[in-house]
A = this chain, B = another copy of it.
Amino acid sequence: MEALWSLGRASVRELLEALPEERRPAYTTVQTIVRRLERKEALHQVRKIGNAHVYRPSISRKAAYGRLISDFLDLFGGSPRPLISHLVESGQLGLDDLKEVESELVAHH
């Protein structure tokens, strides 16, 4: 999905080539993923170029992230606090990070 979100719309081939050259899967692997995502209505065909389908995301990156994060938070009881605390405790999130996010928050009114 990440690739499709970046490209806006793309064919299987384009998605494949958008992946980092190292671990790049087989063409059919991407195709299968696309087919399954289509069944799940995360993306859909928009048209054909030659005999190839072109797809567009059906859900925004933001919406998907939202659901993902919300599901993840459910593992911690639904509140983001334990997560943040853990990040801070493990040193993955510093005071400076917090300050930064904070000022962004204030800036955006």
Interface residues of A (CB under 8 A from B): 62, 65-66, 68-70, 72-73, 75-76, 80-81, 83-88, 90, 92-93, 95, 97-99, 101-102, 104-106
Contacting A84 at CB < 8 Å: which of B65, B90, B101? Answer: B101
Question: What is the CA–CA distance of A99 and B95 in the complex, to the nearest angstrom?
Answer: 10
Report whether over half of chain A's contact residues are helix, strand or loop; otherwise say mixed: helix
Residue of B nearest to A85 (CB): B101
Do the beta carbons of B92 and A102 come within 8 Å of each other? no
Do the beta carbons of B86 and A105 come within 8 Å of each other? no
Q: Which residues of B contact A97 (CB under 8 A)?
A: 80-81, 84
What's the least CB distance linking A2 to chain B, in Å? 9
Q: Which residues of B contact A85 (CB under 8 A)?
A: 101, 104
In the complex where A69-B87, A86-B69 touch, is A80 in contact with B93 (Cβ < 8 A)?
A: yes
What's the least CB distance linking A71 to chain B, in Å? 10
In the complex where A68-B75, A72-B72, A75-B68 touch, is A95 in contact with B102 (Cβ < 8 A)?
A: yes
Question: What is the CA–CA distance of A86 and B66 in the complex, to the nearest angstrom?
Answer: 8
